Amino acid sequence: MEGLQYQCGPCKTIAPHFKQYATKYPEADFLKVDVDKCQTTAATYNITAMPTFLFLKNGKKVDEIKGADPQKLEDKIKKWYSVESEGGGSSGVHGYIDLLSLINKSQTECLNESDDHTLSHCLTKGGQYLESDCDEQLIISVAFQSNVKLHSLKIHGPETNAPKTVKIFTNQGTLDFDKAERGEPTQTLELTKEDVVEDAIIPLKFVKFQNVQSVTLFIKDNLGGEDITQVDFLSFIGTTVISSTNMGEFKRVAGKRGESH
């Protein structure tokens, strides 16, 4: 998480709060930039008012707030700090995040999901799950808000009903079952019961998943040969594709873990 701050009158007013938040939320990086000296960066992010605070994850903008309102700023910090601490930062893989916060829900769907147990139920841990309807097969299509690099997956489920054969396609858009069956995937997974237990991580061929805008999972069958497939939890682990932002123009307000500068 990163912020932009400009040295106008309102900026100077909110500056002490900004510095306080940098210490209060040590997992985030708080940075500031001088709009007069760094006009390219200001133009890149279309800054039209000061102060403007940008929220970045791996160099990509994910949110923005304008104005010198300390409460609104802290509320926004809490929103993304929570994602980083509870969702985005707890992938279980060092150096990578759970990409849940970057999923574009309006372009995400699941074919053959049951009416009572849908895709949204398995994207967070909460006791609910995704279940197939007419047979054991599922097609899960997920789009991201920005291009990502996929490192690995988590696919948890009960031993008898959890996915077994999973064909993974990237940047294909929506596939039907016939195309998914015949198509050449980016990678095919043959899962075992050890792969689907809680917190198990399924590595991908990372070199093949370097610039992913969307990913489609075709779940062909399940471990027990049952008529219904169940997914208790599905997680995509990776990072966003680094943008061309010149981070040298940003001045650190506080270091990690709240170290002052």
Distance of CA 75 to CAs 3, 69, 70, 221, 231, Å?
A: 14, 10, 9, 44, 33
Report the distance separating Cα 89 and Cα 146, nearest Å: 18
Structure tokens given for 15: 């500056």
Distance of CA 131 to CAs 105, 140, 192, Å?
A: 19, 12, 19
Catalytically active residues, by annotation: 8, 11
Beta-strand relationship, 52-57 and 30-32: unpaired
How many helices (H) and strands (E) would you count in the chain? 5, 14
DSSP assignment string, 124-156: S-SS--EEBSSSS-EEEEEEEEEEEEEEEEEEE
CA atoms within 13 A on the CB side of 240: 19
Report the distance separating Cα 193 and Cα 243, nearest Å: 38
Instruction: Write out the H or E segment, with its range, that includes residue 74.
Output: helix 70-82
Q: How far apart, in Å, do the first and last CA atoms of the chain sit?
A: 18
Name the residue with tokens 């932002």. Answer: 245
Q: φ, ψ for residue 57 (rounded to 5)?
A: -130, 120
